[in-house]
Chains A and B, each alone.
Chain A
């Protein structure tokens, strides 16, 4: 199942791409569906897809020894995650689990990187968005850390 350009335009992550660039996303992505409690990927898994949440609810967290899962946050519709698939060593820094029936857009990260080489403007724009996602996640993590340190 593939999305159409107009559907992609409604998703926050894709708000400033040209139609040509949106077509690229569509050609290298698939829609995946998950049930409640499905694990999309575990922490330290090698990742091949970068995801955008289309609908549903996802929980993101880290694992502690003895298989204890710590929930760090929820992801919102239109948010990008699994960004580690784009960067070496392609290893996830967190696990992601569906907490309700969920639909995601799975973008093939290798193919995406090849498209970046062909169109550097497209690459810069997408990498800027990914960097913004990481920056916000880092800022939220610092906020959480400060909360813990000042308890």
Chain B
């Protein structure tokens, strides 16, 4: 007999589209068969029937509840199988879990977002949310870095953002090709071209651990206070419920207490950048 109260039971979601973002990254568009909603920054466990599950932060707008988008980088067995899935097939979703971005604390402020690689997936969801409350924000600046132009995901997003009032979006790549006309260098180099009012600003950092470390250091150098910097931590979340202990970082369960933390909450943790 099916136990509907089972906290580990996933909801079935039908894939309606699979978008190639880069050679290793795809966005899966799915329609959950049951009511499902999340807050930006929260994560879900996405599963392939009979194979396994992995944690992802949805990349779609939390304001759209009828469908969900999850961007997945092919890194192992489960994500490799996900990349072989086609529209019409089913995935499982469990969650949402954890603490997302405290959007109301961003009101009246300038929001600087620093993203790298696949870290743009959760940021995309955040950007949609910020767009919906843009009247309450001073401005939103996105600085995004990827290794090569081919690794840049959500290409149309940048053009769109730069057309929205109060938004500005900058991109950089480590290795340009002949057609690349934007910045070259690591994502922190983009901070040389922007201007923020530090008294009325918060910063959000999301990306690979190395990028988050150097990004946070540069933000502190710029004058951001530790409680003005929000980090979206990815720490091997597994159960999503604070029970299995896979994601423990010091006294925190990243799955339950995070994944979004301010830097001052976790700065003393030796595992923060691992």
Contact = CB atoms under 8 A, between A and B. Distances in A.
Interface of A: 12, 59, 71-79, 99, 136, 139-140, 142-144, 146-147, 150
A143 B216 CA distance: 12
B10 interface: no
A73 to B, nearest CB: 3
Interface residues of B, number: 21
A71 B176 contact: yes
B151 to A, nearest CB: 12
B214 A143 contact: yes
A74 B189 contact: yes
Nearest to A137: B189
Given A76-B193, A77-B193, A143 B188 contact: yes
Interface string B205-223: 0000011001001100100
Given A72-B184, A73-B184, A147-B174, A142 B214 contact: yes
B65 to A, nearest CB: 38
Given A136-B192, A139-B217, A147-B147, A73 B185 contact: yes
Contacts of A75: 192
B185 A72 contact: yes
Given A73-B186, A136-B192, A139-B214, 5 more contacts: A73-B189, A74-B172, A77-B193, A143-B211, A147-B174
Interface string B171-191: 010111000010111101100
A147 B185 contact: no
B214 A76 contact: no
A79 B214 contact: no
Given A76-B192, A77-B193, A139-B217, A146 B184 contact: no
A76 B170 CA distance: 12
Contacts of B175: 71
A39 B183 CA distance: 18
Contacts of B211: 143
Given A74-B183, A74-B184, A140 B189 contact: yes
Interface of B: 147, 172, 174-176, 181, 183-186, 188-189, 192-193, 195, 210-211, 214, 217-218, 221
Q: Which of B147, B186, B217 has the most CB of A within 10 A?
A: B186
A75 B189 CA distance: 8
Contacts, number: 55
A31 to B, nearest CB: 21
A145 B116 CA distance: 16
A73 B187 CA distance: 10
A9 B181 CA distance: 28
A144 B189 CA distance: 11
Which 3 residue pairs of A and B lie closest in terms of their CB atoms, listed nearest first? A73-B185, A76-B193, A143-B214
Contact of B210 (A99, A136, A143): A143
Given A147-B174, A147-B210, A150-B210, A79 B186 contact: no
Contacts of A76: 183, 189, 192-193
Nearest to A76: B193
A73 B183 CA distance: 7
Nearest to B209: A150
B210 A74 contact: no
A144 B193 contact: no
Contacts of A143: 186, 188, 210-211, 214
A74 B170 CA distance: 13
A48 B172 CA distance: 31
A59 B184 contact: yes
Nearest to B192: A76
Contacts of B181: 99
A144 B186 contact: yes
A2 to B, nearest CB: 26
Contacts of B193: 76-77
Nearest to B191: A136
